[in-house]
Amino acid sequence: MELWTFTTLALVAVVVFLFFQLVWSKGYQARLPPGPTPLPILGNMLQLDSKNILTILHKLSEKYGPVYTIYMGPKRVIMLHGYEAVKEALVDQGDKFLHREPLQIFNAIFKGNGILSINGEKWKQIRRFSLMTLKDFGMGKRTIEERVQEEAQCLVEKLQNTNAQAFDPTFILSCAPCNVICSILFNHRFDYDDEKFLHLMGMLNENFRLLNTPWIQLYNLYPSLIKHLPGSHRTVHKNVLQVRGFLMDQVKKHEETLDPKNPRDYIDCFLIKMQQEKMNPQSEFSYEELLSTASNLFAAGTETTASTLRFGLLLLMKHPDVQAKVHEEIDRVLGSSRRPSMQDRVKMPYVDAVVHEIQRYISLLPFSLPRSAPQDINFRDYVIPKGTIVFPFFHSILHDRKAFPNPHQFDPENFLDKSGNFQKNDYFTPFSMGKRLCLGEGLARMELFLYLVTILQSFTLKPLVDPKELDITPVMTGILSVPPVYKLSFLPR
Is 415 a residue that touches ligand HEM (CB under 6 A)?
Answer: no
Report yes or no: 196 and 189 within 8 Å, Cβ to Cβ: no
Q: Is residue 426 classed exposed, middle or buried when 0-12, 13-18 and 19+ CB atoms within 10 A define those classes?
A: exposed
Q: How far is the CB of 100 from ligand HEM (least distance, A)?
A: 6
Closest contact distance (angstroms) between CB of 174 and ligand HEM is 12
Residue 370 CB partners (closer than 8 Å, separation 6+): 100, 101, 103, 389, 390, 391
Nearer to ligand HEM, 71 or 431 (CB): 431
User: Least distance (Å) from ligand HEM to the CB of residue 98?
Assistant: 9
CA-closest candidate to residue 396, choices 55, 49, 21, 155: 55
- Interface residues for ligand HEM in 14-43 (CB under 6 A)? none
**Closest distance between ligand HEM and the C-beta of residue 472, in Å?**
17
Give the Cα separation of 125 and 84 in Å (integer). Answer: 30
- Does 432 engage in binding with ligand HEM (CB under 6 A)? yes
Q: Does 440 bind ligand HEM (CB under 6 A)?
A: yes
Contact 67, 379 (CB under 8 A): yes
Q: Which of 439, 446, 456, 488 binds ligand HEM (CB under 6 A)?
A: 439
CA distance 300 to 443: 12
User: Which run of H or of E encompasses 182?
Assistant: helix 170-186
Q: Which residue is nearest to ligand HEM (CB)?
A: 440
- Do residues 263 and 139 touch, judged by C-beta distance below 8 A? yes
Q: Which residues ranging from 328 to 367 are in contact with ligand HEM (CB under 6 A)?
A: 364-365
Q: Select 416 or 448, whichever has its Cβ closest to ligand HEM.
A: 448
Nearest residue (CB) to ligand HEM, 82 versus 440:
440
- Answer yes or no whether residue 305 interacts with ligand HEM by CB under 6 A: yes
Question: Taking the complex as a whole, how short is the minimal distance between the CB of residue 300 and ligand HEM, in angstroms?
Answer: 4
226 vs 294, beta carbon nearer ligand HEM: 294
Q: How far apart are CA 83 and CA 394, in angstroms?
A: 8
53 neighbors 29 (Cβ within 8 angstroms): no
Q: Is 309 in the site for ligand HEM (CB under 6 A)?
A: no
Nearer to ligand HEM among residue 133 and residue 323 (C-beta): 133
Q: Which 280-299 residues touch ligand HEM, going by CB under 6 A? A: 296-297
By C-beta, is 226 or 451 nearer to ligand HEM? 451
Q: How many angstroms separate the CA atoms of 41 and 460, rounded?
A: 53
Chosen residue from 430, 463, 478, 483 binding ligand HEM by CB under 6 A: 430
Q: Which stretch binds ligand HEM (CB under 6 A): 310-318, 414-422, 427-435, 449-457?
A: 427-435
User: Is residue 342 exposed (0-12), middle (13-18) or buried (19+ Cβ within 10 Å)?
Assistant: middle
What's the rounded Cα separation, in Å, for the pair 490 and 455? 9
In DSSP terms, 490 is beta-bridged to 461
Residue 226 or residue 455: which is nearer to ligand HEM going by CB?
Answer: 455
Which one, 269 or 369, has the nearer CB to ligand HEM? 369
Please report the sign of the dihedral spanned by the C-alpha atoms of residue 80, residue 86, residue 90, residue 92: negative
Which residues fall within 8 angstroms of residue 25, CB to CB, at 6 or more apart? none
Q: Which CA distances in Å does 105 have to 219, 374, 391?
A: 7, 20, 18
Residue 450 · residue 342 · CB < 8 Å: yes
Rank residues 127 and 327 by Cβ distance to ligand HEM and give the closer one.
127
Q: Which is nearer to ligand HEM, 364 or 453 (CB)?
A: 364
Question: Nearer to ligand HEM by C-beta: 226 or 456?
Answer: 456
Residue 251 in the binding site for ligand HEM (CB under 6 A): no
| Site membership for ligand HEM, residue 436 (CB under 6 A) | yes
Piece of the chain touching ligand HEM by CB under 6 A; list 48-56, 214-222, 326-334, 429-437? 429-437
What residues form DSSP beta bridges with 384?
377
Question: In angstroms, what is the minimal distance from the CB of 102 to ligand HEM?
Answer: 10
Could you give the dihedral angle defined by the CA atoms of residues 14, 19, 20 and 24, in that order, rounded to the nearest 10 degrees? 140
**x/- map, 92-131, ligand HEM, by CB under 6 A:** --------x--------------xx----------x----
Q: Which residues bind ligand HEM (CB under 6 A)?
A: 100, 115-116, 127, 296-297, 300-301, 304-305, 308, 364-365, 368-369, 430-432, 436-440, 443-444
